[in-house]
Amino acid sequence: MWLFKFIAGVLSSFITYAGPLNFENILMADLFKDYNRDARPIANVSQPVEVSVAFYLTKILNLDEKNQVLTTFGWLEVHWKDEFLTWNSSDYGGLMRIIVPPRVIWLPDFGLENSAETIYDEQADKKFRAGIDFDGGVQWVPGGKFVTSCELDITLYPFDSQKCEMDFVDWTYDGRFVSLTNGTSSVSLGVYKKHGEWDILKTEAKSTKQYFDSDPGIPFPTVKFILHLRRKPKFYMINVVAPCLLMSILALLVFYLPPDSGEKVSLGITVLLSFSVFLLLIAENVPKTSDYVPLIGVYLTMVMVMTALSIVISVVILDLHHHEPNRPVPSWLRRIVFGMLSRLMFIETPYKNEPTSSFFRQKVKNGSKKAIKIEIEEDRMLTDMNLQRNSSYTDDCLEVSALQKKKHYVFDEILLHLREITAKMKKNIRREQLNEEWKMVAKVIDRFLLLIFLLAIIGLTLSILYIYPKLNHAFDNPK
């Protein structure tokens, strides 16, 4: 019986060592028997360990403009050669590659130099295993969320393009001991999922060397992964630019609204408040920095200034419109308004470039027939009365009846009242003419300023929201 058990044990041991797991256990035991993970994996200690890094981007999680932080998700592919972890595959059943925990081998001690949270992910040493080839090549693929600071140029917001970097450096070894290089010339986008707000124009990967004043002759290698991003403007065109244009049109209506409506100033103040609220909403979404000012903010501020100016001008126009008709329009103002602006605006006006007195005489001559008729009848009555008086005195100077005296008295009273009525009508006609003339001055100036503000807003809108962003994108992406 004991012989049978001995033979069975020998066969079991032979079967165990004959399987693949047997060779893997033996290999690991042989490799790590005298292995020191704290020593650099190179036989010639005067040479640096060559470490190449590649980055695979899977998703852009967020680009926080306010805090200037880029959050991405992906993984790194790190390669180097460990000269102390090599074996002859034929000695271990043809085993070419093994997977080991990262805590048992030497790892490059690199992290994110421009990280916005933690520079080094301590969990990477525990979560992500490393693959070792028989020739000593090591592949380590740590991944996760990368939070990096990104200085944003928001001048063209919301038509801006940004350049964000991920800078990996070795925190322990300088360039004399570890040489960090980029494994690829760009960021790999093979598994990238598109972002709803940002498009990736291009990517770069490059290695540089930094020198510090404390150690001017010692290089510190850095691997940079650069993302060139452009904001998708459709959302902002609908929610930012379109409301700006609509409020700009409302600002123009301040000049188009008739002064008699009594709402010119109220409309201007309402539009001004709307711009103020909208500017506050935009300010909440852009970085609080004085280095860059968004063009949309400049646009809103300038339109706000124009709207405030339109309110001031509207007050002046209302004052002209409701001007007291006790003074005529000054000759210099008549020349400007009726001589130039009315022709420029194609506004037909009966008022010419002559003084008010001559116009008033023409007005009375052409349009005030009733007053002229009263003057003619008054002259006739005066003539008849004089003739009657002369004839009476000629026929019988001594006989003046009470009835004739009464008639003469009545005629005198009638003439007096006619003179008063005629004077009042002339005064009213003059006041009416002056009032209409001041209103026409206000109307012509109002329409002229409407044209000026329309051209200013169109030019401002095209230059800030269209032409300048187009030129900037053309320079960013030359053919």
Q: pLDDT-based confidence at 77, cuts 50/70/90?
A: very high
User: Quick check: is 465 in a domain?
Assistant: yes
| Residue after which a domain boundary falls, among 175, 209, 232 | 232
Give the model confidence (pLDDT) of 293-331 as tens digits: 888 888 888 888 888 888 888 888 888 877 777 777 777
Q: What is the pTM of this model?
A: 0.70
Q: Which residue has the tokens 């100016």?
A: 309
Number of domains forming the structure of the chain: 2
Residue 176's domain comprises 21-232
* DSSP helix/strand/coil, 75: strand
**Do 222 and 251 lie in a common domain?**
no
User: Quick check: is 252 in a domain?
Assistant: yes
From the list 142, 32, 162, the residue with the least C-alpha distance to 86 is 32
**Do 373 and 228 lie in a common domain?**
no
Using only C-alpha atoms, what is the Rg of the chain?
A: 47
> Which CATH number covers residue 176?
2.70.170.10
From the list 453, 476, 479, the residue with the least C-alpha distance to 199 is 476
| Residue after which a domain boundary falls, among 232, 260, 289 | 232
| Residue after which a domain boundary falls, among 232, 264, 290 | 232
User: Quick check: is 6 in a domain?
Assistant: no
Measure CA 377 to chain center. Answer: 75
User: Quick check: is 366 in a domain?
Assistant: yes
Reply yes or no on whether the pLDDT at 10 is more than 50: no
Give the model confidence (pLDDT) of 261-283 as tens digits: 778 888 888 888 888 888 888 77
Q: How far is Cα 88 from Cα 23, in angstroms, rounded to an integer? A: 12
Q: How far is Cα 342 from Cα 215, in angstroms, rounded to an integer? A: 77
To 10 degrees, the CA torsion angle through 295, 301, 302, 303?
Answer: 110
**Do 198 and 280 lie in a common domain?**
no
**Do 384 and 448 lie in a common domain?**
yes
Q: How far is Cα 207 from Cα 169, in angstroms, rounded to an integer? A: 10
Token pair of 116, please?
């916005």
**Do 199 and 120 lie in a common domain?**
yes
Q: What DSSP character marks residue 86?
A: -
134 contacts: CB under 8 Å, gap ≥ 6? 86, 87, 88, 89, 95, 96, 97
Backbone angles phi, psi at 55, to 5 degrees: -125, 130
pLDDT of res. 478: 46
Reply yes or no on whether the pLDDT at 349 is more than 90: no
DSSP3 helix / strand / coil % (the chain, rounded to 5):
50, 20, 30
User: Quick check: is 208 in a domain?
Assistant: yes
**Cα–Cα distances in angstroms (integers) from residue 19 to residues 26, 89, 111, 252, 469, in the given order:** 11, 15, 40, 87, 67
Q: pLDDT-based confidence at 119, cuts 50/70/90?
A: low
Percent share of the chain, pLDDT over 70 = 78
pLDDT of res. 72: 94
User: Helix crossing, 242-256 with 264-283: angle to 10°?
Assistant: 160
Q: Which residue has the tokens 């801006």?
A: 160
User: Quick check: is 11 in a domain?
Assistant: no
Give the model confidence (pLDDT) of 196-226 as tens digits: 999 999 999 999 998 888 778 889 999 999 9
Give the model confidence (pLDDT) of 374-421 as tens digits: 454 545 555 555 545 555 444 454 455 666 666 667 777 787 777 878
**Do 305 and 420 lie in a common domain?**
yes
**Do 216 and 265 lie in a common domain?**
no
Token pair of 72, please?
């991405």
Q: How far is Cα 457 from Cα 252, in angstroms, rounded to an integer? A: 9
